[in-house]
Structure 1
Amino acid sequence: MITFLESVLEDFDGWRTTPGQCVFVLPSKRAGFFLKNLLAHKTEETSFAPRILSIESFVEEISELRYATSTRLMFDLYAAYIEEGLDKESFYEFSRWGPMLLQDFNEIDRYLVDAVKFFDYLGSLQEIRHWTPEGTSTPLIDKQIKFWKSLLPIYTRFRDRLAEEGLGYQGQIYREATTKLRAYLENNGSFHYVFAGFNALNKSEEFIIHEILKHGKADIFWDADSYFLENPVHDAGYFLRTHFNSWEFLKTNPPKGVGRFFDADKTIQITGLPKNIAQAKYAGGLIGDILEKEEKALDKTALILGDETLLNPILHSLPESLKGVNITMGYPLKDSSLAHLFSVLFQIFREKGQKGISTKKILILFSNPFLQEWFLKLRFTHSVATGRMVRENKPYLNAEDLEKLGLPLALRKLLSVHPYPDPGAIISRFIALLETLESLYLNSQDSVSVEFLRHFILLFNQLSELHQTYPFLTDIPSFFMLYEQLLEEDTLDFEGKPLEGLQIMGMLESRCLDFETVIITSVNEGVLPAGKSNNSFIPFEVKREFDLPTYKEKDAVYTYHFYRLLQRAKNIYICYNTEPDVLNGGEPSRFIYQLRNDSITSKSIQNNLAAPESGIAPSPSEIIQKSPSLLALFALKASKGFSPTSLSRYIKDPLEFYRKNVLSIRDTLELEETIAANTFGNVIHETLEILYRPYLGEILEPYHVAEMKKQASEALREAFEKHYLKGSQLRGKNLIALKVMAKYLELFLQLELKRIVSQEVCILGVEKELIRELPDIPGCPGPVYIKGTVDRIETVDGELRIIDYKTGLVEPSNLRIADWESLSEDPGKSRAFQVLCYAWLLQEEMPIPASQFRAGVFSFKRFGTGFQWFGFKTAHNKQDEMITPEVLMQFEGVLQSLVAELFNPEIPLMPPENP
């Protein structure tokens, strides 16, 4: 395969005869690097190399201006905006729309639009749009029209500020180059210019290239295929057809570089995959296949990222045996853990006020890997402080809290600043932290981490200089916006042999380069092409009026790049996302449909759909045999007492019982920003205990309930403080949760009042702890106890009742059984099992009168149902709710069988059959 750049060198011999007088101008620096390598391989003797420039560098040289950084452009544009005397916005507010205005200025200049005429037209259009027959207006309309009328002065001031220092934005530099081109050519008349690989040119580039071509000492080579050029509706040839028909030079000089490559034999595989990670894994698998067949073939392979955010998952999906990879875009600093560290720190100071520092942010901060070396030096065990913060559950921390947590002084100084801190002070602290970390990682010889740290030191030094230079940078949000902008532009460049091995690049970096094997990801509508976007103040009709590019022209740019990649390629792999997405959709790109319907490519296409294997990955069956030591541990637990909850857990999942109740492995404590369901239940239980305990042994009277209503708010606050708040201020969702609990209590006490009016209710116990020995357990070397805490014991008109409060939903069917075996086999009957456990436990403490005993639950999510009682289904499907000694004897047999199974060494602990 002869690449485009090779064909240019074959057709143009001047680089051999007079290399010192040749200047190659290409679309990108990357293409220039490949051209320089070709020149080195084709040169037979030592000579000076021709100059190789990107189009942007070439235009910059002509204009005699230098490109200003994007940050500098934003500051100078804001200064011009302020000088114009409009209603002042903060820099942070301006930064949300300023880049769009800058982009419009850029486009106006690149396309050589008459600025005075353009802005006058735009201002008049806005006046017409807001015109009314009555001539009425509003302050908001007046403000908008004033803004549109001020765009020309802002534009002029902005350009003048930059030009005074020899700087400019891209459009300004391009426009300036058109005015200085004649002088440039007079001073450089001996050079021969070669333009290669161009497609979509703005008016400035067209003017410059065309004038140089007409000047006589220049050539232009088009990387084009006649298949697209000859098709009048194919967007891949849209710009080239326009140039060929309109350029005076091309009317007398046939275009060079045009060939017929697209209809050569190709293999095209189009594969739909769900989401980005699947695409990354699939692309990695393709690279592995190529590597296994012929490693050298990777030198002619390119992986093109339609969506460049795929770089990270792609890097993690490449085969380990791959020796070299060349990445044009560098590793984005914004994806590093150090970037996440400072994003959290910025958020801490941005959100910090009189209420203190967010505990959640501190927890995230402690987990950052870059701080671990520092913590070791400070002898700070952050896991201890983390555990304490989670247990105390304070959503915000003040300076005193940080000291109590045992945070070292250096860490407290970093975090303990004024509630509304000065950005300069924060930046100074960040730089000091980075320098400390740099010295630590230098000692540990972690070169990658040191490189990241040095990039961030430079970044924050730049922020510090900006703070000193521009007095309007006074707030944290503005600094955070600048931090993110600078971070977005910075990358950690990869090192390697850029001309060997697999090439990973974005679509624009592929210009002028050709590969035998091409893998393209994210070929979805909205990505390739990018589709319609309205990132401009300029209305569509105004763009058409002044011949500015719209989404139509931008789509044609993507079309050319896509098809140009396919021209000389032999093996083509195209991936697209099949899953619907809110922003990008799940629709394959129009390019895919065009390939499928093209008379040439349709014969070579293989359409595939692929997806990762679904379901849970097979794992070895977890079966735990009951060794003598494990049975001894069971016996130890039995001597202290099994709770109804633990036995219910054993019925549901023996392995979970083993982890939580035998090995005592608890769930990881987490900070509750909003109250958790179990904490919600604990607060309700605690409040009811506080309210009812004073009336133990008494028959409830209406005035008792009235007194409880008065005390309910204070009791609820006390319980909430104990189980959740722990001294913190109540706000947001937690305040709503408190109101919900207060309403629950109000409804419960109203229900209680109705009961005691018509029934005699006597409270015998609240939160009563019970324990009883379970006899006759074979295989157990010691006693077995069952223990539990009964929420409420009462009599109603002489009938004894046990009540278990539930803040979750309980259905009546959960308390009904048809046979005794279901209690130990069906996890859905856990509520019935628990209330029978409490009844059995109570039998030891007080005699149970026959047919005068009930046990059940009160579900706070089913107030309308009221109390729900355990029931045994009898003949004719009737429910017997009374618990008698016979019932408890039957249940004791269930308990004995269940615990005997637990101690049976022949029955291992294993997962449930139907989890």
Structure 2
Amino acid sequence: MKFLNKIITELLAEHPDLSGFTIVIPGKRPAVFIKKILAEKQYSGFLPTFCTIEELIAEISGKQPVQGIALWLMAYDSYQQLDLSPKDDFASFLKWFPTVQKDWDDMLKFSDDDRAILEFMFDEERIKNWAQNLGEETEEVPRKKFLNFWKNMNVFLPFLKKQLQAKNLATAGMIHEAARNQINSFADQYKNRLVFCGFNAFTPVEEQLVRQFLQRDKAQIYFHGDRYYTEDERQEAGIFLRKYQTWKEFNKSRKFRWIEDDFSKPKQIKVYEVSGNVSQAQLLPNILNSMQNVSGTELSDTAVVLLDEHLLPAALDSLSTVEQLNITMGFPLKNMAFSNAVKHFFHLQKQLAKRPNSYYYNDVLPILEELPNTSEELKTVARFKSLIEERNIVYFSEAFLRSALDSLSYFPLLIKAESSDLFLKQIYNFCYELKFRELDDLQFENIAHFEKTFKIIKNQTASYQFDITIETLEVLVNQVISSETIDFQGEPLQGLQLMGLLETRLLNFKNVIMLSVNEGKLPLGNTQNTYLPYDVRQHFGLHTFLENDSIYAYHFYRLIQESDSVHLLFNALSSGVNTGEKSRFITQLEFEVQFHSIEHTIIENLSASVEAQPIEIEKTAKVMERLREWKKRVSATHLTSYLYNPIDFYLNKVLETRAVNEIEEQLSVKNYGNLVHYALQIIYDTITEKVLTSEDLNISDDRINEAMNQSIAQLKHQPEFYERGINFIHKSIAERVVKNIISYDRNLLLEGHSLKIIALERKFEEVDFYLDEARLEKVSFYGFIDRIDELDGVLRVIDYKTAKTKDLTLSIDEKNIDEYLMNDLKKQALQLCIYQYVLGQLPEFAGKYTETAIWSLTEVNKGAVSLQFTKGNLEDAMVSIRNLILEILNPEVPFTEKIRPVFD
């Protein structure tokens, strides 16, 4: 740490005892490095005092800082005491107050009088409103809204200030305002000598503090600049340092220190254009490996700087093999599982307030999945998920929830709370108890953070009269989750350093790897969240996005000025808010810097290229053993599954895997077909084994609806599932299909045809089919036939399909006989051929002429479309079916994946 080393060397040369010094630094982290330097120099005296400049200003002001939840509640209490219109509720208040508070703090920090800016904004809106009143009346409403807003702020903010001052509390801006008039007396009385280290941009109060101590010769200040950006007026990074160089406090006896000339020294700069955010993190191990191949490179001399905090999980995953890793940045609370569970707790309570005793499955499942459950609780959750998936339960009652989950330790939090106070107490106690379980460090910190937050909310809200509803608590919690981080603590003196840009202040590294060096990330650009227009900020001396860009520019150039190798990665993909544009600082380096070598690398995809090779599964002895078992129960569906994709057949019939049940919010094609099947079976079951009359099929709408409800019960679905939305439409269509099939059959009778229903869902099994002429090897067919009837004396086998009928006209000759049905397009024909073969083997149907047909539920009015042979016959068709089965059983033919088109 060259800069810090230089400061300590100079201080010790002039003052062997530093106990009377206060070292003022931008952040707390550099204090660790200063102590290390003192130890290396064998300093044996008392340590100096360390503090940040914010802590020093707060000490001068004599005020107690207030922020976050405590400030929001206090501010809303003050807001309610005023007769302002419109009177926002707490949730609406929090939508604008944090931004107003930040603007107000800027007014108090950078201007002499916040009232002047508030009055200016009100007057400006009055003028604009007056001008617009001369125009169209329709344009009047939005302008009046802005006018009313600033009118209210001119009343509310001064009142809030008085309320806070009465309690000796202050926001960050008020602390600066209070300190402004105390600095001179503080400087006179303060006994220690101040040493300001590495500052770049001061607020007016901070600048006054530094200059007053310099004038009294009670301070030293060390800047960390470079000629490259301080001597060039075009360089925004040096704007503030060039201003400070003109202070009258710097003269022959007190020189401005220091402006180095390190940036011009040779550096190896590599710019990586990477496709994707996560890909940047995945590139880290490669860059580190290339560094370690260079002699003398140590990880402790390397910093990985993340300009996007959302990359931290991906970066940690990529750096998992690094033995010593120190993280000096916050982990966003919103990225953690327990935080999501907490959000869902409050969302669930809000939903229960709207519809008591009615739970939506997706309001409950995220809570169960993201909480740290015990092993017993995991079993309970698994049983619950299995139950609602099996029965496709989308909405359920409290009684159902209680019967399934009442053993969970957090079950009371899933029940509608009697009051917000009780719920807050319950969730606080739950967090407290959770800490005593076996948790990883990150989980523990996350839970402890919420325990502390809920305790603060509980204590703070107790003293206010306004109603704290569940919605209010939800808003507070969501604000905390979206804005706060968990800070890591590690060993900053060893290993690889992983940090944010602001954490690099005062520190230098030989090797710098910077991720997300995109425009909008570095610098942030014109993304400032403010209600104050640019011209107003500029006029009153408040920082605009230009000053903020200058601060970021300084941090960027200062960090790399003393480094030897710099790796700058940016995301080249345009997605969401990311424009895919590299930071202009990279462009500046490329065009302005002539004394460094800059190498460009384009990383398209870090994943290994995957060739579209189909999966092949060899038929091992174990596989063949399973296939021998399969031969005893073969269905037509098994064979069509193999035709569609042999790997599917392998997974289902050899490995015996099953598809995971998923809750359907929208009825699936499969269950739509089942709904129709079951309803038809229920209706026709009462009129089987008889020649039908038209009166038998004069089925009322009420009877069809009753059959549909029985079908729903058979599916184990909830009736409510079909009461609204798209599923109500699906049910209505299914009823119409059932009605049309009945009507079609009735019309046949009215036309003079004879119809008799013989069987529905006819089960068959152990129907042998021989694979060789010697009849030594065989398979046994089993399955269900949807409907067997007799139309005008002809036996028909009918299979209902939700799909349209495919080609059912077969033309088999000597050239194609061996593989004719071994085609995915002939699946329906293959199934009908097997049914026709099976009926010929069943004693009660043997010797009868049989037709097999598909009745498509999407083309009901076509009726049952029969299988036709223009060439060949059933015996010829069974040749290709036999060959298909022999292929499945052939140990020399592996199961090979069938790669299908995307839109197949």
- Asked if these proteins are the same fold (TM beyond 0.5), I'd say yes
What is the aligned partner in structure 1 of residue 72 from structure 2? 74
> 1:835 corresponds to which residue?
832
* Offset, 1:508: 0.7
Tell me the SS of whatever aligns to 1:547: coil
Alignment equivalent of 1:890, drawn from 862, 876, 879: 876
Write out aligned runs for 1:864-879 (5 A).
866=862, 869=865
Shifted more, 398-407 versus 513-522: the winner is 398-407
Find the aligned partners of 2:810 and 2:752 in 1 and give their Cα distance. Answer: 26
Name the structure 2 match of 1:286. 287
Report what 2:62 is aligned to. 64
Q: Which residue matches 1:104? A: 103
Following the alignment from structure 1 to structure 2, what is the Cα–Cα distance between the partners of residues 759 and 218?
113
1:643, distance to aligned residue in structure 2 (A): 1.5
- Tell me if the contact between 2:267 and 2:596 (Cα under 8 Å) persists in the aligned partners: no
Which residue of the other structure, out of 517, 541, 544, is the alignment partner of 1:523?
517
| Structure 2 partner of 1:876 | none
- Distance in 1, matches of 2:856 and 2:108, equals 75
Q: Distance in 1 between matches of 2:167 and 2:52?
A: 24
8 A contact 2:21–2:48 mirrored in 1: yes
- Specify the alignment match of 1:878 in structure 2: none
Task: State the match for 2:176 in structure 1.
Answer: 174
CA shift at 1:251, angstroms?
A: 7.9
Taking a change above 3 Å as real, the CA distance of residues 436 and 599 of structure 1, as seen in their structure-2 partners, is: closer
Matched, 1:686 2:661: no
Structure 1 equivalent of residue 896 of structure 2: 911
CA distance 1:73–1:228, change in 2 (3 Å): same
- Taking structure 2 as the reference length, the TM-score comes to 0.88
Matches within 5 A, 1:198-347: 198-244=199-245, 247-249=247-249, 255-291=256-292, 297-320=298-321, 322-347=322-347
Distance in structure 2 (CA, Å) of the matches to 1:696 and 1:107: 85
Structure 2: state its 5+ residue gaps.
none
Conservation of the 8 A alpha-carbon contact between 1:760 and 1:796:
yes
SS in 1 for 2:388: helix
The answer to whether structure 1 residue 85 and structure 2 residue 83 are counterparts is yes
Structure 1 residues 769 and 55, CA gap change in structure 2 (3 angstroms): same
**Match among 798, 801, 806 for residue 801 of structure 2:** 806
In structure 2, the partner of 1:874 is none
Q: Which moved more, 1:340-349 or 1:504-513?
A: 340-349
Instruction: Report the secondary structure of 1:299's partner residue.
Output: helix
1:197: how far off?
1.9
Q: CA deviation at 1:265?
A: 0.5
- The letter for the 2-side match of 1:146 is N
How far apart, in 2, do the equivalents of 1:542 and 1:521 lie? 34
Q: Which residue of 2 aligns with 1:738?
A: 731
Q: Hey, what does 2:598 align to over in structure 1?
A: 604
1:66-100 deviations in Å (ceiling 9; x for gaps): 32132212112212222222233221222222211
Q: Aligned pairs, how many?
A: 885
Per-residue deviation at 1:761?
Answer: 7.5
- Structure-to-structure mapping, 1:622-641, within 5 angstroms: 623-625=617-619, 627=621, 633-639=626-632, 641=633
Correspondence for 1:468: 462
Secondary structure of 1:606's partner?
A: strand
Deviation for aligned residue 1:490: 5.8
2:666–2:727 CA contact under 8 A, matched in 1: yes
TM alignment of 1:675-824, pairs within 5 A? 675-694=667-686, 696=688, 707=699, 709=701, 711-723=703-715, 725-728=717-720, 730-742=723-735, 760=753, 762=755, 764=757, 766-771=760-765, 773-778=767-772, 784-793=779-788, 802-808=797-803, 810=804, 812=806, 819-824=816-821
* Residues 409 and 577 of structure 1: CA distance in aligned 2, closer, same or farther (over 3 Å): closer
- Indicate if the aligned counterparts of 1:200 and 1:557 stay in contact, CA closer than 8 A: yes
Distance 1:15 1:433, change over 3 A: farther
Question: Partner of 2:34: helix, strand, or coil?
Answer: helix
User: Is 1:395 paired with 2:390?
Assistant: no
Match of 1:95 in 2: 94
Q: Return closer, same or farther for 1:115/1:47 CA change in 2, 3 Å cut-off.
A: same
For residue 518 of structure 1, give the secondary structure of its aligned residue in structure 2.
Answer: strand
* Alpha-carbon distance, 1:656 to partner: 2.9
- Alignment partners' CA distance in 1, 2:224 and 2:278: 34
1:430 Cα offset (Å): 2.3
Instruction: Report the CA distance shift for 1:528/1:781 in structure 2 as closer, same or farther (over 3 A).
Output: farther
Contact 2:634 2:782 in 1 (8 A): yes
Task: Please state whether the residue corresponding to 1:371 is helix, strand or coil.
Answer: coil
TM-superposed CA distance for 1:569, in Å, is: 0.8
- Any conservation in 2 of the 1:559–1:591 contact (CA below 8 Å)? yes
What letter matches 2:785 in structure 1?
V
| 1:648 corresponds to | 640
Task: Check if 1:477 corresponds to 2:452.
Answer: no
1:487-636 to 2 correspondence within 5 Å?
A: 487=481, 493-600=487-594, 603-616=597-610, 623-625=617-619, 627=621, 633-636=626-629
TM-score after normalising by structure 1: 0.87
Q: Is the 8 A contact 1:577 1:588 kept in 2?
A: yes
Q: Distance in 2 between matches of 1:483 and 1:172?
A: 26
Structure 1 portions without partners, runs of 5+: 872-880
Contact 2:23 2:196 in 1 (8 A): yes
Q: Which residue number corresponds to residue 856 of structure 1?
A: 854
Q: Say whether residues 1:157 and 2:151 are aligned partners.
A: no
How far apart, in 1, do the equivalents of 2:689 and 2:320 lie?
75
- Aligned Cα root-mean-square deviation (Å): 3.7
Q: Tell me if structure 2 keeps the 8 A contact 1:269–1:607.
A: yes
Q: CA deviation at 1:417?
A: 4.0
Separation of aligned partners in 1, 2:672 and 2:541:
65
Which letter maps to 2:168?
A: G
Distance 1:142 1:209, change over 3 A: same
How far does the alpha carbon of each residue in 1:390-445 deviate from its partner, in whole angstroms, 9 at most, with x for none?
22322233332134336427554443344xx422222222233334434443xxx9
